[in-house]
Every structure is written in structure tokens, then in C-alpha cells.
């Protein structure tokens, strides 16, 4: 059986990222995950053989240090999945700092990681022509419509969506680059009933599908040989509601 290559996923220790990590470990891949905050899942993942690297993309030099660690320890990569994200609102953070924070996590980190690890992805692609190599950016439905409560967040995700187009051109034909644009997939524990009801009503399908919706989209992109520079929208038909 063809040896599975390593996959790097940022923010891979909770919620969507953790579900994707576990599915890829089960599929036989070697996983490298980043996290910012220590939590119980990290010990479990390490016992499964997952390489867990602590990093905060808001801290300068953190991204360069991450790239150095991965480049030194791994000879090639099957995929890089940019999942890490901070969903901050203008009500929560002064606008004088919020845009900078959002661009550090959602744009600068993916940008530097893609450039810094492109050689490893190219080698991963040539390792098995049937598999190729992938970069996946987790953007957001709000890239299409904007957001009046998460303006800086939305703008940074729109910039991330543009990175998909640029890197798809730069890294073809060896590496496919695609976005996954969710709307509501999984509530946060602190979301109250009123918020949940309003959020569910925003889409045609009116459900909270959970992490497996994102897992399935990642699995499809990894299996595809002919999609690049595109976006998979996981939004329950919200654009028609
Ligand atoms: N959940 C949903 O319904 C939706 C999700 N999305 C997108 O899907 C992706 C996954 O969503 P979800 O699972 O809810 O994400 P989370 O809000 O759970 O965040 C994922 C991870 O990002 C990490 N992170 C946040 N800020 C930083 C930072 N400065 N440096 C390094 N890591 C950081 C966190 O690490 P730690 O916990 O270690 O601090 C966290 O575990 C995200 O890109 C999100 O924007 C889009 C629309 C809807
Ligand atoms: N990093 C995160 N980004 C987003 C989250 C989240 O929990 N973490 N959640 C949403 C909402 O589900 C929104 O899509 C619907 O209310 C958006 N982005």
C-alpha cells in the first residue's frame, strides 16, 4: 500500500479542525497540527502519533518558526489545510487593532506557510501522481456578502479567498489550491437559543450539520484530480434564503 504522506492542518485540535485531523489519521495519513491554547485533545492526539506544534499566528516570527520546524522535520507534504481562525467582532475588539489581528491569522499565516512549504508540496505531488498535492483554505460564506458585525474578519477571509486564486496559478499543475466556504456548520457552546434560532433561519435547509460536513469536503478535494482555484460552499442554500 502506498505510504501516506504528512498533512499539515492549522488549528487542528478542536471542532472542525479536530474532526478533520481524526478522519485523516484514520485514513492513514501522518498528521502535523498547530494549536494556540493547550487543551485535553493535544495529549490524545500525541498518543495517536500526531505532531502537535504550539504557535500563535499573531506573534511575529511564529509563522517563520513553524515553517522552519516542518521543513526541517519533513521531506515532503501531501497537503496543507489552513483551518485556524479567530472569529472576532468589532464589538469585541477595538477597530484600531482588529483588522491587523484578522489579517495576521487569516492571510499572513497562510501566505507565508504556502510560500515556505511549496517545495515540500511539490515533492509530495511527484511522490504519487495519482494523489497530487493540495492546499485548502477555510474561508467563509461572508466572503460573498460581507458582514456588518464581523467586518475585519470578513475582509480577511475575502483576502484568503483571493490567495486561493493566486496560489492555484502559481503552484499548478503539481499542487491544487481550493477554498471551503462554510456558513453555519457548528455552533459555539456560548451561543444562546435566540442566536441559534436566528442563525438556523438564515439558510434554506435550516440545520446545524456539524463537523462531518467539513470532513467530507476535505476528503473530496483530496480525492479530486481536476479541481483547482475553486470554492466548495457549505451553506445550506443561504444565498437563496
Ligand atoms: N464553525 C462554523 O460554523 C464555521 C466555521 N468557519 C471556518 O471554518 C474553520 C473552522 O471553524 P471552527 O472549527 O469553528 O474554528 P474555531 O473557532 O474552533 O478555531 C479553530 C482554531 O483556530 C485556532 N486559532 C485561533 N486564533 C489563532 C491564532 N492567532 N494562532 C493560531 N491558531 C489560532 C484556535 O486555536 P486554539 O483553540 O488552540 O486557541 C482554534 O482551535 C475556521 O476557519 C472558520 O473560520 C466558517 C464559517 C462557519
Ligand atoms: N473561527 C471561527 N469562524 C467562524 C465561526 C467559528 O465558530 N469560528 N462561526 C461562524 C458562524 O457559524 C457563522 O457562520 C454563522 O453564525 C462563522 N465563522
Q: For position 2, what pLDDT does the model report?
A: 55
**In terms of C-beta density within 10 A (0-12 exposed, 13-18 middle, 19 or more buried), how is residue 190 classed?**
exposed
Using the atom order of ligand 2, give the atom closest to the CA of residue 141.
14
**The complex's ipTM?**
0.99
Please tell me the pTM assigned to this model: 0.98
Using the atom order of ligand 1, give the atom closest to the CA of residue 57.
30
Q: What is the mean pLDDT of each run of 10 residues along the chain (241 residues)?
A: 82 98 97 98 98 96 97 97 98 97 98 98 84 95 98 98 99 98 98 98 98 98 97 98 95
Per-residue pLDDT of 53-71, as tens digits, reads 999 999 989 999 999 999 9
140, 183 Cβ separation under 8 angstroms: yes
Catalytic residue among 35, 141, 153, 220: 153
Residue nearest to atom 33 of ligand 1 (CA): 84
Q: Could you give the domains of the chain?
A: 7-240 (3.40.50.720)
Q: Which ligand has an atom closest to residue 20 CA? A: 1
Contacts of 190 by beta carbon, 8 Å cutoff, 6+ apart: none
Amino acid at each position: 500500500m502506498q505510504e501516506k504522506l504528512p498533512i499539515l492542518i492549522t488549528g487542528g485540535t478542536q471542532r472542525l479542525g479536530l474532526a478533520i485531523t481524526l478522519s485523516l489519521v484514520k485514513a492513514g495519513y501522518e498528521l502535523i497540527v498547530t494549536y494556540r491554547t493547550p487543551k485535553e485533545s493535544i495529549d490524545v492526539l500525541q498518543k495517536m502519533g500526531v505532531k502537535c506544534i504550539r504557535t500563535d499566528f499573531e506573534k511575529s516570527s511564529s509563522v517563520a518558526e513553524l515553517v522552519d520546524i516542518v521543513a526541517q522535520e519533513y521531506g515532503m507534504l501531501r497537503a496543507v489545510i489552513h483551518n485556524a481562525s479567530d472569529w472576532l467582532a468589532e464589538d469585541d475588539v477595538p477597530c484600531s487593532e482588529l483588522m491587523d489581528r484578522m489579517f495576521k491569522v487569516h492571510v499572513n499565516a497562510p501566505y507565508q506557510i504556502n510560500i515556505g512549504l511549496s517545495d515540500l508540496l511539490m515533492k509530495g505531488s511527484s511522490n504519487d501522481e495519482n494523489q497530487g498535492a493540495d492546499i485548502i483554505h477555510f474561508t467563509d460564506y461572508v466572503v460573498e456578502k460581507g458582514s456588518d458585525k464581523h467586518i475585519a474578519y470578513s475582509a480577511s477571509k475575502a483576502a484568503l479567498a483571493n490567495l486561493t486564486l493566486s496560489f492555484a496559478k502559481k503552484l499548478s499543475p503539481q499542487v491544487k489550491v481550493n477554498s471551503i466556504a462554510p456558513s453555519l456548520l457548528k455552533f459555539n457552546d456560548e451561543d444562546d437559543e435566540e442566536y441559534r434560532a436566528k442563525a438556523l433561519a438564515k439558510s434554506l435547509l435550516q440545520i446545524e450539520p456539524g463537523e462531518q460536513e467539513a470532513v467530507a469536503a476535505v476528503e473530496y478535494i483530496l480525492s479530486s484530480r481536476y479541481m483547482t482555484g475553486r470554492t466548495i460552499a457549505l451553506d445550506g442554500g443561504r444565498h437563496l434564503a
